[in-house]
Amino acid sequence: MCGLLAFFRRQHDPETRDQFAQILTRLENIMATIAQLQASVAKETDAETAVITLLQGISQQLKDAKASGDPAALDAVIANLDANTAKLGQAVVDNTPAAN
Query: What was the pLDDT predicted at 30?
Result: 93
pLDDT at 5: 64
So what's the pLDDT on residue 31? 92
| Angle between helices 2-10 and 14-68 in degrees, nearest 10 | 160
Q: Can you give the pTM of this predicted structure?
A: 0.52
Residue 27 lies in a domain: no
Domain assignment present for 29: no
**Whole-number pLDDT of residue 53:** 87
By residue range, what is the domain housing residue 52?
A: 48-91
Tally of domains within the chain: 1
User: What Rg do the C-alpha atoms of the chain give, in angstroms?
Assistant: 27
Residue-wise pLDDT tens digits, 50-77: 888 888 888 888 888 888 888 888 888 8
pLDDT score recorded for residue 4: 64
Task: Identify whether 15 is part of a domain.
Answer: no
User: Does residue 82 fall inside a structural domain?
Assistant: yes
Rounded Cα distance between 92 and 98, Å, is 12
Q: Which of 84, 97, 88, 85 is nearest to 47 (CA)?
A: 88
DSSP at 99: P
Residue 19 resides in a domain? no
Residue 39 counted as domain residue: no
- Note whether residue 60 is domain-resident: yes
- Tell me, yes or no, whether 97 lies in a domain: no
Q: Which residues of the chain have pLDDT under 70?
A: 1-2, 4-12, 99-100
